[in-house]
Amino acid sequence: MTSSLTISQTEQANFDQQGFLVVDELLASSVVRRLHDRFDAVFAGEFETGVSPDEVNWQEGSSDPSLTRQICNGWKADGVVASVVHSPEIGRAAAKLARWPGARLAQDNLLWKPPGSRSIGFHRDNAYATWLRPQEMLSCWIALDDVSANTGAVEFAAGSHNWSIDNTPGGEFHAPDDYMATVRSAAANEGADIGLHALEVPAGGGSFHHGWLWHGSGPNSSQQDRRGLVVHCISSEARFHREGFDDGTGPIYSRFARPDDDALDENHFPILWTRDKACASRI
C-alpha cells in the first residue's frame, strides 16, 4: 500500500451512515502498472503459480467479449495479485470499519470492463455468503484505471446497507437487461430513495463498502479500459455454515471445509490482520 490506512472517527461515522468510504490513494502507480501486466496474463490463462483461480468466469478467446471479465481468487494464480490482496493494511482498515477483532480474506475479484462491455447487476455481497457465519463481508475496491461515470463506474445506493436483509431480490449478475432492476425493487419495498453515488477515482484509488450495501455498474461507453481489483474481507473469527453450502457461492467454497471442523483453512482464507497479532506485509 502507499501508506498506512487510518480511519478517523468522522470517516467511521460516515461509513456507518452511507455504507461506503472513498479513499483517494490505495496503490502506488508502479504497483498499478504491474497489475495491468498480470491482468493480461491471468485473463489469457497464464497462471504464474501453476494453480488455477477458484472461479474463472472469462477467458480470452472463448468468452463473450461484451461481458465484464471476472476471475475470483486470482491471488492463487499470481504473486503480484497476492501481494496486494494479502495486505495487512487493507485487513486492518476493514476490521476497523466492520468492528471485527481481525480480518481474513474471503476471496478476491479481478474485474475488467473493456470499452463497450456491458453492465453488472446491482447486488449485495453478503447475499452470496450464506456459507459463512457471521454472514458478513466488507470489501475494498481498488481502481486500476482512472474511473468516471462513462467507463462503467461502480455505483453505490447510499445507506442501503441499513435496509432489511430480507429485502434482497435476486437477479442477473452479468449483463442484465436492466442492471438497476433489483435495487429499484428493493428501494420500493423499503419505501426509500436509491441515493446513487458513482465512484469516480483515479487509478490507485478506491473504496471500502459494507457487505449489505447495494451496488452495481453500468456499461463502459468510453474508449478506456476499466479494471478493478476487489478484496472481500470477512471476520477473522468467521466459520463455515454448512446449512448454507447449497446457496450463493457455497457450492464453490464449501469444498475447502473439513468434514469434522467448521474452521476456515488459512491456506484458502488467510488472516490479513488481527488486533492480537499484526501480520507482516507481503507486498
In a domain, 82, yes or no: yes
Does residue 250 contact residue 244 with C-beta atoms inside 8 Å? Answer: yes
> Residue 261's domain spans which residues?
9-274
Residue 143 has a pLDDT of: 98
More confident residue, 178 or 65: 178
Q: Per-residue pLDDT tens for 152-204? A: 999 999 999 999 999 888 889 999 999 999 999 999 999 999 999 999 999 99
In a domain, 147, yes or no: yes
Among 14-18, 24-28, 152-156, 168-172, whose mean pLDDT is lowest? 168-172
For the chain, the domain total comes to 1
Q: What is the CATH number of the domain that holds 18?
A: 2.60.120.620
In this predicted structure, the answer to whether residue 281 has a pLDDT above a threshold of 50 is: no
In a domain, 282, yes or no: no
In a domain, 283, yes or no: no
pTM: 0.94
Residue 277 has a pLDDT of: 67
Instruction: Kindly tell me the burial class for residue 81, based on how many C-beta atoms sit within 10 Å of its own C-beta (0-12, 13-18, 19 or more).
Output: buried
Cell of 238: 468467521
In a domain, 201, yes or no: yes
Q: How many CA atoms lie within 13 A of 33 on its CB side?
A: 3
